[in-house]
Amino acid sequence: MNSPALASLYAQHLDALHARTAVALQRGGFEHLLIPSGTLLYQVFDDRDYPYAVNPQFKAWLPVTRAPGSWLVITPGQRPKLLFMQPHDYWHVVPEAPSGYWVEHFDIIVIRTPDEALQHLPKDTARCAILGEAQSAIGSYVPNNPQPVLDYLDYQRAFKTAYEIEMMRQAQRIGVRAHRAAERAFRAGSSEFGIHLAYCQAAGQDANDLPYGNIIALNEHGAVLHYTDRDRVPPNQARSFLIDAGASFGGYACDITRTYSAQEDEFAAMIRAVDAAQLKMCASVRAGFDYKQLHLDAHLALAGVLKDFGVIMVSAETAVETGVSSAFFPHGIGHGIGLQVHDVGGFAASDSGGTIDKPEGHPYLRLTRVLQPGMVVTIEPGLYFIDMLLGEIKQKGLGDSVDWARVETFKPYGGIRIEDEVACTDGEALNLTREAFAA
């Protein structure tokens, strides 16, 4: 998208943030919102720092992700103020001066040391809601993270502005480009580590840029949900490839998963069946639909796939009722996404707090809210062949529900996961991931 169009969307985005902030501050009894960008944290007994990650509350306001020691000052009715840390330093790269479509909306003050921020912050700290990590404190300006303010802002974060949707769309395009490169590397016989490098090269992002650690799993490794070991040597025979990898754009994340078979075999057919079921789940992302129900419906659909491929001997309904389906699909159907991969507010009952419980027997679901226009969620059904969970089926006396010979047929492939990001609208769902793959 060209800069003028993005600039227009950004202005509207700021208007929304200002309106939300005014309400949040009123609820907390504060006059100012202060947001530190975050600081570098050094490892204990060492002189090395951990990878820096910007405060999500900070990057909600502006697409700046590498300016540790900076501060935002938001006061309703006034232009926001950015205290931009640009230290005198010859050991490290100094952040470039602010530029781009967003700078005209801020009063920008360059500071050279953390303490220089003190003279530009509101004088009465008791009137300030300060959102950040404890280590960001300077002087008496200590993050207090008031709950009424966080409850309101976190709840509203679920509703993406048009600007945020566009930023996420751009992240999708980067991620899809890298996913295609990773598939090519898999087809060419690369190792997990080699595929990872191909992905990073195509994305133009390394481990500190990516929104999360890439999951690059060949064969049985696909049965480890968060597999990140990445063998340096290719297996003797590559049967399958599961990749769960994202990309970043201006502080926004994408989260995409695909699974491939090396051959046109039964596992490839199972992948297609899961993909078809996943597309129907994506189409269920509609205003007013309960995300918890979408998760439960996914269990029924995936149990149907297992039944069709002869893996389970009971009906799909029985597999769900007895918990057998959970052994093959042990995680949630997805989560909110945006400034963070697992975005905040997933369980919020209202903008005043409270929690919407997860369905009984489904402890790993990360979102329990009713879908509304503006929400963006991931839809990521999966089927896996995990020894530990399969063993629990037998321990529960449900072994007769499964054809164990069929399980042995599929175990060498590890598992299947298909993940898209889908925006809820006033009408049909907008699948940002499929849109990017189709481009």
- 20, 153 in Cβ contact below 8 A? yes
DSSP for 132-156 reads S-GGG-BTTB-----HHHHHHHHHH
* Intervals of CATH 3.40.350.10 along the chain: 3-155
The C-alpha atoms of residue 389 and residue 382 are separated, in whole angstroms, by: 14
Q: At 409, which amino acid appears?
A: T
What is the per-residue pLDDT for 70?
98
The C-alpha angle 198, 202, 207, rounded to 5 degrees, equals 70
Instruction: Please provide the CATH number assigned to the domain covering 3-155.
Output: 3.40.350.10
Instruction: Please list the residue range(s) of the chain that carry CATH number 3.90.230.10.
Output: 162-438
- How many CA atoms, within 13 angstroms, populate the side-chain half-sphere of residue 372? 12
Query: Which residues fall within 8 angstroms of residue 130, CB to CB, at 6 or more apart?
Result: 34, 35, 36, 141, 142, 143, 144, 145
Per-residue model confidence (pLDDT) at position 5? 85
**pLDDT for 68:** 97
Q: Which residues of the chain have pLDDT under 50?
A: none
Provide the pLDDT for residue 1.
Answer: 52
* 60 closest CA partner among 157, 128, 169: 157
Whole-number Å distance between alpha carbons of 391 and 135: 45
pLDDT tens by residue, 1-58: 556 789 999 999 999 999 999 999 999 999 999 999 999 999 999 989 999 999 999 9
Looking at domain 162-438, its CATH architecture is: Alpha-Beta Complex (3.90)
